[in-house]
């Protein structure tokens, strides 16, 4: 429960990475101790940058960020595991959370892993952990510090239903201050009591009281009221200007009437408000399918067996399944069972238990985007995906995914995680694969885009293997076969 003490305050904060890349302009808000706040905004609006300003990783261009007390501690669970940490063990990763050596470190790790419902050997290297395990580790790394302010950046990404349930329960009982970036409405509604909305168009932050759904509805109603008000005022402006034009031509004393009419029109114009624009939504799209040789036998992937991890040991189970054109397969199972590993091996060309036809072009959506070279520009990544480079087609497709010229010329490392996700879908469109391998394709994506993405996948006419822990998303996609590694 929040109290009257303010622990975090932004005072007229402006921030820009470059002169023409403004993210904040005189933004002000305050967060009370014990609050559970949702930070909203479209992909690329700067939500993760807000977190960096709070942690002092970045400094405002203008204005100030205050913590009260000044030595209040901050713990942050980031969206993705830092690459520099991937070669470390779980134990070494947790040790990095402290400035001094903790002699009871294993006990602390065990306690915090219980909180996030994670079972993993402390000697395991992070690069051997699944996406879901890494998501839990990122959260646990923040929690083990017992911070005064807990910052969670997309904490439900890669988590299965059990993981989300445990996280929700923990946050509902959490007594300190928490600020969360997430696009999971059900998760946010369960515990948040306020919303900060980062407006990507005017670079300000709007503060609301209430949970996620309440605020979304409030914003929608406000936009409707403002549109109606502006429509009435616009009609009044047109009417008064038309009258002023008539009286002005009559001359004499009527010219003063015309002047008053113009003044009324100008007053009405001043009363018109800048309507907060809704988040932009990607255009509906289709992922083309590779045209294969007419002698192709139709077998895209042949599964002979699957291997799952049970109690950290591999268990092989026979399977007779052929994936052909227009076959959609859901790869199910809890975090850490081996789903991402299976997709990675398929993308690498398959293996004895899962043979992928050599002439088949594979479109791989990797959940952490590590298959995208961070040093290449977005334009170069998309161009490399095309069989016949066509700049006009490339830019047109990119625009449909809200990737403008500035973003296309940016290196991958400069894009937000959400923009990397949209880039990955654009890449699949230009690649025209015969097989789609999709590992948690909803991660980091604005919820407004998800129905459009689901429709494109539902209509995809090639072979598809999908991993997703978002039931509402999966329910919108035709699934022909299910491989459950948790059985």
Model confidence over 401-457: pLDDT tens digits?
999 998 999 999 989 888 999 999 999 999 999 999 999 999 888 878 999 999 999
- In this prediction, residue 52 carries a pLDDT of 92
Average pLDDT (235-239) is 78
- In this prediction, residue 271 carries a pLDDT of 66
Residue 279 — very low, low, confident or very high, per pLDDT cuts 50/70/90? low
- In this prediction, residue 173 carries a pLDDT of 82
- The helix/strand/coil state of 325 is coil
Q: How many CB atoms lie within 10 A of CB 376?
A: 15
- In this prediction, residue 381 carries a pLDDT of 97
The secondary structure of 225-267 as a DSSP string is HHHHHHHHHHHHHHHHHHHHHHHHHH-TTHHHHHHHHHHHHHH
Residue 274 — very low, low, confident or very high, per pLDDT cuts 50/70/90? low
What's the CA gap between 52 and 420, in Å, rounded? 19
- In this prediction, residue 420 carries a pLDDT of 94
What's the CA gap between 10 and 115, in Å, rounded? 31
Q: How many CB atoms lie within 10 A of CB 387?
A: 11
Residue 300 — very low, low, confident or very high, per pLDDT cuts 50/70/90? very high
Average pLDDT (93-101) is 91
Which single residue is written with the structure tokens 């306690």? 111
Q: Which domains does the chain have, with CATH numbers?
A: 6-73+147-216 (3.40.50.300), 301-484 (3.40.50.300)
Average pLDDT (166-173) is 83
What's the CA gap between 82 and 310, in Å, rounded? 27
Average pLDDT (290-305) is 85
Both tokens of residue 393? Answer: 């087609």
More confident residue, 126 or 446: 126
More confident residue, 208 or 22: 208
Q: Give the pTM.
A: 0.70
Average pLDDT (126-134) is 85
Average pLDDT (454-483) is 94
Element (H, E) at 481: strand 481-484
Q: pLDDT tens-digit profile of 49-59?
A: 899 999 999 99
Element (H, E) at 310: strand 301-310
Residue 118 — very low, low, confident or very high, per pLDDT cuts 50/70/90? confident
- The helix/strand/coil state of 40 is strand
pLDDT > 70: what percent of the chain? Answer: 94
Which single residue is written with the structure tokens 């895209």? 300
- The least confident of 143-157, 208-222, 303-317 is 208-222
Q: How many CB atoms lie within 10 A of CB 146?
A: 12
152, 133, 130: which is closest to 142 by C-alpha?
A: 152
Both tokens of residue 192? Answer: 């948040």
Residue 19 above 70 pLDDT? Answer: no
Both tokens of residue 322? Answer: 């052929």
For residue 206, the cross-strand partners are 197
Residue 460 above 90 pLDDT? Answer: yes
Residue 130 — very low, low, confident or very high, per pLDDT cuts 50/70/90? confident
Q: pLDDT tens-digit profile of 345-386?
A: 999 988 889 999 888 999 999 988 989 999 999 999 999 999
- The helix/strand/coil state of 93 is helix
Average pLDDT (66-92) is 90
Residue 13 above 70 pLDDT? Answer: yes
Residue 394 above 80 pLDDT? Answer: yes
Task: Outline where 28-184 has alpha helix (H).
Answer: 47-54, 90-95, 105-115, 131-143, 161-173
End-to-end CA distance of the chain: 41
Q: What are the backbone angles phi and psi of residue 473, rounded to the nearest 5°?
A: -70, -50
Q: Cα 193–61–203 angle (5° rounding)?
A: 50
Residue 231 above 80 pLDDT? Answer: no
79, 31, 53, 61: which is closest to 418 by C-alpha?
A: 79
């Amino acid at each position: 429960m929040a109290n009257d003490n303010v622990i975090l305050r932004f005072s007229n904060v402006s921030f820009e990475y470059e002169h023409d890349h403004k993210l904040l302009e005189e933004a002000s808000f305050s967060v009370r101790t014990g609050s559970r706040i949702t930070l909203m905004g479209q992909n690329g609006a700067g939500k993760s940058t807000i977190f960096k300003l709070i942690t002092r990783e970045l400094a405002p261009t203008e204005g100030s960020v205050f913590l009260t007390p000044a030595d209040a501690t901050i713990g942050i669970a980031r969206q993705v595991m830092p690459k520099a940490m991937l070669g470390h063990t779980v134990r070494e990763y947790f040790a990095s959370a402290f400035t001094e050596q903790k002699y009871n470190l294993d006990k602390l790790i065990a306690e915090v892993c219980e909180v996030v419902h994670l079972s993993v050997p402390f000697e395991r290297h992070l690069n051997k952990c699944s996406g879901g395990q890494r998501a839990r580790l990122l959260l646990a790394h923040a929690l083990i510090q017992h911070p005064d302010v807990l910052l969670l950046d997309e904490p439900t990404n890669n988590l299965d239903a059990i993981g989300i349930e445990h996280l929700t329960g923990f946050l509902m009982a959490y007594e300190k201050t928490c600020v969360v970036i997430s696009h999971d409405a059900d998760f946010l509604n369960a515990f948040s009591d306020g919303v900060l909305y980062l407006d990507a168009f005017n670079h300000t932050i709007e503060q609301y009281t209430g949970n996620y759904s309440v605020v979304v509805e409030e914003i929608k109603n406000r936009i409707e009221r403002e549109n109606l008000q502006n429509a009435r005022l616009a009609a009044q402006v047109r009417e008064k200007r038309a009258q002023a034009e008539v009286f002005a031509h009559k001359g004499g004393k009527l010219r003063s009437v015309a002047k008053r009419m113009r003044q009324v029109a100008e007053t009405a114009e001043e009363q018109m408000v800048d309507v907060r624009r809704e988040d932009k939504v990607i255009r509906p799209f289709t992922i083309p399918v590779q045209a294969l040789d007419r002698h192709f036998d139709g077998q895209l992937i042949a599964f002979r067996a699957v291997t799952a991890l049970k109690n950290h040991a591999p268990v092989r189970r026979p399977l007779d399944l052929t994936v052909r054109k227009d076959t959609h397969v859901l790869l199910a199972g809890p975090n850490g069972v081996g789903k991402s590993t299976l997709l990675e091996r398929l993308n690498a060309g398959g293996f004895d238990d899962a043979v992928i036809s050599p002439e088949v072009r594979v479109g791989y959506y990797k959940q952490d985007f590590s298959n995208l070279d961070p040093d290449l520009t977005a334009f170069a990544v998309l161009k490399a995906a095309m069989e016949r480079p066509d700049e006009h087609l490339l830019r047109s497709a990119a625009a449909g995914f809200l990737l403008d010229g500035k973003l296309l010329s940016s290196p991958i490392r400069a894009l937000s995680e959400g923009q990397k996700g949209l880039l990955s879908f654009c890449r699949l469109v230009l690649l025209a694969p015969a097989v789609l391998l999709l590992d948690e394709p909803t991660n980091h994506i604005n919820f407004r885009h998800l129905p459009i993405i689901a429709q494109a996948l539902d209509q995809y006419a090639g072979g598809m293997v999908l991993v997703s822990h978002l039931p509402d998303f999966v329910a919108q996609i035709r699934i022909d076969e299910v491989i459950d590694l948790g059985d």
